[in-house]
Amino acid sequence: MTRQQKWAHAALAKVASHKGKSTESKYKTLCLKMPTLLKQSGVVQALAFMRARSGEEGKEFCNDLSAVYGVPTLDGKTAGKDLQDQAQTVALPQYLVLSRDLIEVSVWFRRFAQSELKAEDGDEGT
């Protein structure tokens, strides 16, 4: 199984776990925004923004993104923070690899959010 296949399988499971929950709409919005945010702002800024401005859903999304990418964590609840810390401390070549990989992982989240989670009113074109 390739990395892309592993990421796709894990991202689908994370997205599907939000189906039918009260946070479904918010989670879908985060999934749709993350690839662009990563491309425009970079990993550290995108994760910091999501964790600070999007409440508990944003922290949960960052934890899910980190878990799918494969960031080891002890409790599973700080994976997003661990990934942010890692991105702040790695050398430039590793940061570039991390950026590319997280964009690819976040695209899987976006694809599955578009197909699996319900659209909000006026959100059908997304």
Spatial contact of 11 and 109, defined as CB atoms under 8 Å apart: yes
Q: Report the pLDDT averaged over residues 9-24.
A: 90
The CATH number of residue 69's host domain is: 1.10.520.30
Its pTM stands at 0.85
Structural domain harbouring 58: 3-116
Count how many domains the chain has.
1
Spatial contact of 2 and 99, defined as CB atoms under 8 Å apart: no
- Whether residue 121 is contained in a domain is answered as no
Which range, of 37-41, 63-67, 98-102, 122-126, averages the lowest pLDDT?
122-126
Spatial contact of 35 and 110, defined as CB atoms under 8 Å apart: yes
The helices-and-strands tally (H runs, E runs) of the chain is 6, 0
Residue closest to 9 by CA, chosen among 121, 125, 114, 109 = 109
- Whether residue 102 is contained in a domain is answered as yes
DSSP 3-state assignment of 53? helix
pLDDT, one tens digit per residue, over 58-79 is 888 888 999 899 876 666 566 7
